[in-house]
Structure 1
């Protein structure tokens, strides 16, 4: 049974019970009022002087006169003598048959006597006189009570039916927002993630529920989009990694087959083949190392963080660059800076920065390195005088296996992972990396993160 059906049924039951109780109270009250009226009539009749005179001087009722009360007397021997019958004189009603017990009870209070018709009876004994019996027929009262009972039952059923119909209509209207929520939920379950639950009246429970559901749906939609994007990146990553790994393996296999066919007859060919096999093996090793580093950065946690001297790491890397490239001007403006993070990851990051400067800037071109730690932030800026990266390509430059100049990257032995490794390191430390125009004419790479623990 649906909730609206249960609510409607419960409402109908409550209406039925309450109206039945009210009807029963009305019937009991009316019945008591009817009998009280009859009892008052009997008491008035039996105490009337004219009635008392009938005990000694009975007179017949005219044919055209209706008498509401029948009268009788009881002598000392218990013999009942009817003095006057109820009803029309021409068609009187039968006087009730009274037992001794009934007469005795009627002396105390009015009693009802079943029969055809039924009577209400009282017995009184005036001082010095015989006992007088007054009996009023209950036919009209019983008919009135029967009609009242039928009216009450009909009214109860009608009110219950109308109440149930009204309750169903009200509940149906009340549940319209719920129906809309159900429809929206079904549509969302079928894949319509842009669907939202209609907002109910603000300030009501349904309004709060609809707002909460929309927030939950938005959160789930965002989570689904994030998972789908992650799966897309994973598929792309696996595809690109497979391609990059296949290339050196193909070269190695080709030279191995060449050596097998040559059989060692050409020393020059053997030397060349071994050199290429060695270089491709090292290239493959570098690729695997970089992929493992990316995987570690994706899984890094605060438990592996420790305080270290970031200024020392940056200084060592770029002083090595200056020592190995004496024709370059390497300007270092490095202030003391402590960081909580993974020191090895930052050493790899600075090594990639040095490698990018060496590979992608003209020989002898200047390089400027600035490190600041102020106002709760650490900023590392590297400027070069190379060709830079066009603004329209900067958004994808930090993605994995991105080669902005494929021929240049291949010639230099790169896999398009250097920038993505730097981004992974910075992301794992809750930082930000920006690619901008450099005052030296090339690329400015700026890394910004909190000076304290990033987690």
Structure 2
């Protein structure tokens, strides 16, 4: 039984340093403000409940006295009264105990009297002084209150109350309760004020935090901009200078960003030194190649001249000597070609050797393909031209050499019967595009990245019916670059295409 491997989790979103700092600041501020608010609410609640308990204790003492005394009091003393009706008392106005009939009782006060037989008389004083009955559930809840410290209850149908119970000398339980709605209203008002203050503080903190973070990270932005400018420089060849450095103000080793700026400046100094050493080495090599090529032209011309002179008397020479002189002439010609190519590359590297004249690419293409057809009659040569001539500014001889080398490359590295198509077209911007396509065996994948390097060879997979210096495509790339153009290759088995893009006006490459 096989199971599919788990899919890779989606990459997590990376937040910027500014965002993380701002979120951290906001979270810390929220935690601090929330802690202060909770502590304030708890302290205020404790204070208000304590104040409520003081009033509740006074009300409970009066209710206890009105109900027959407290636990520390004995039975009421006997009173001798004259015969006649009892003294006048306040009439009961509701179902609650007698102490609720006091005129000074606080509105919304709840009172209950639990007899020894568990019967309960309970009521609530309204704002008009009239008592109202409580529900049976409220009776049961009040009857369950034990004497001792005040407790908070949610009495069904009445709301949130603070109640306290006490026992009289006769065993009755007197329960007094005061409403907590004023306390709850005060706490809610303070909570809303804290929310508003928190929102205002967060808005102010976020605004100030964005400004502070942006100001604090501005040096880091300048360091990043310096690194970006260096990254955009062409450092692969030629004389390279690195005038960009992190400003002195952002390279203070006493700060974290300054330490980064100091490190980048040191790195740029090392890179600049390495580039100068590399350029100096390349310059010496190019000068050596140019001087050596120039100096070799004279002895090579002399060798070729003596070889040709000897070959004029071929019949008078022994066969072995005649064959040797023929080989000397052939190799001297090949050596001369190699020296000329090396000298041309040295001149192109130095930015010399180009002319600025109008070049008719249509006529040049026809001439190059005709020469290639004569040199390789066993290949099929095709030509695709635009209806109107294409003229660019450049060096006619060098551009002819570009196309001739591309056609020679196809002729040398493909077999008989290969179809080679040369196409010329406009690029829509005043320039031209050359395409040389063949249906040969193709260029190996590992050779394609370095096909335009000097002395690159692909003998293992492309047939070689003639000698090659390995500099043909390197010269093509150098000439095209010197004209400000670009060259690319795409190759698969059965199809290889070289594409040359040339601007309308010659632009000397730096």
Q: TM-score, normalised by structure 2?
A: 0.46
1:399-432 Cα shifts (integer Å, max 9, x gaps): xxxxxxxxxxxxxxxxxxxxxxxxxxxxxxxxxx
Is 1:189 the counterpart of 2:189 in the alignment? no
- CA shift for structure 1 position 208: 2.0
Q: Per the alignment, in what secondary structure is the counterpart of residue 122 of structure 1?
A: strand
1:30 and 2:39 matched: no
Give 1:101 deviation, angstroms.
5.3
CA contact under 8 A between 2:26 and 2:205: conserved in structure 1? Answer: yes
**SS of the counterpart of 2:117?**
coil
1:81 counterpart = 2:121: yes
Partners of 1:156 and 1:87 in 2: how far apart? 39
Mapped to 2, the partners of 1:151 and 1:65 lie a distance apart of 33
Q: Which of the numbers 111, 122, 147 marks the counterpart of 1:107?
A: 147
Match of 2:24 in 1: 10
C-alpha distance in structure 2 between counterparts of 1:253 and 1:177, whole Å: 68
Match for 2:57 among 25, 35, 43?
A: 43
Q: CA deviation at 1:69?
A: 3.9
The corresponding residue for 2:300 is 249
Alignment check: 8 A CA contact 1:74 1:81 kept: yes
Correspondences of 1:295-374 after superposition (within 5 Å): none
1:24 Cα deviation after fit:
1.8
1:55 and 2:97 matched: no
Q: How does 1:152-191 map to 2 (within 5 A)?
A: 152-191=194-233
- Tell whether the 8 Å contact from 1:120 to 1:135 is kept in structure 2 after alignment: yes
Output the CA distance in 2 between the equivalents of 1:94 and 1:184: 83
Q: CA 1:219 to 1:207, structure 2 compared with 1: closer, same or farther past 3 Å?
A: same
Q: Does 1:198 align with 2:247?
A: yes
1:260-280 Cα deviation digits (max 9, x unpaired): 335699xxxxxxxx9xx9xxx
Sort the Cα spacing of 1:93 and 1:12 in 2 relative to 1 into closer, same or farther, 3 A: farther
Q: Distance in 1 between matches of 2:202 and 2:173?
A: 52
Alignment partners' CA distance in 2, 1:177 and 1:86: 72
Q: Distance in 1 between matches of 2:130 and 2:147?
A: 29
**Structure 2 residue matching 1:197: 3-state secondary structure:** coil
> What is the deviation of 1:217?
0.7
Following the alignment from structure 1 to structure 2, what is the Cα–Cα distance between the partners of residues 85 and 244? 124
Aligned twin of 2:189: 147
Structure 1 residue 135 displacement after superposition = 0.5
Q: Is the 8 A contact 2:41 2:187 kept in 1?
A: yes
Compute the RMSD of aligned alpha carbons. Answer: 3.3
- CA distance in 1 between partners of 2:217 and 2:162 (Å): 57
Deviations 1:337-378 (A, max 9, x none): xxxxxxxxxxxxxxxxxxxxxxxxxxxxxxxxxxxxxxxxxx
Q: Which string of whole-angstrom CA distances, capped at 9 and with x for unpartnered residues, describes residues 64-98 of structure 1?
A: 9754744332222333335x844533576775763
State the Cα distance separating 1:179 from its structure 2 match: 0.4
2: CA distance, partners of 1:153 / 1:2: 29
Pick aligned residue for 2:269 from 209, 215, 218: 218
Indicate conservation of the 8 Å contact 2:116/2:171, yes or no.
no
Unaligned runs of 5+ in 1: 266-273, 285-455
Show the 5 A alignment for 1:398-413. Answer: none
Distance 1:234 1:170, change over 3 A: same
Q: Is the 8 A contact 2:120 2:143 kept in 1?
A: no
Q: Secondary structure at the match of 1:109?
A: coil
Q: Which stretches of structure 1, 4 residues or more, deviate above 6 A after TM superposition?
A: 91-94
Q: Secondary structure at the match of 1:118?
A: strand
Tell me the distance in 2 between the aligned counterparts of 1:197 and 1:208.
11
Aligned to 1:362: none
Instruction: Give secondary structure in 1 for the equivalent of 2:159.
Output: coil
Q: Take 1:232 and 1:257, find their aligned partners in 2: how far apart are those partners?
A: 37
For these two proteins, the number of residue pairs brought into alignment is: 266
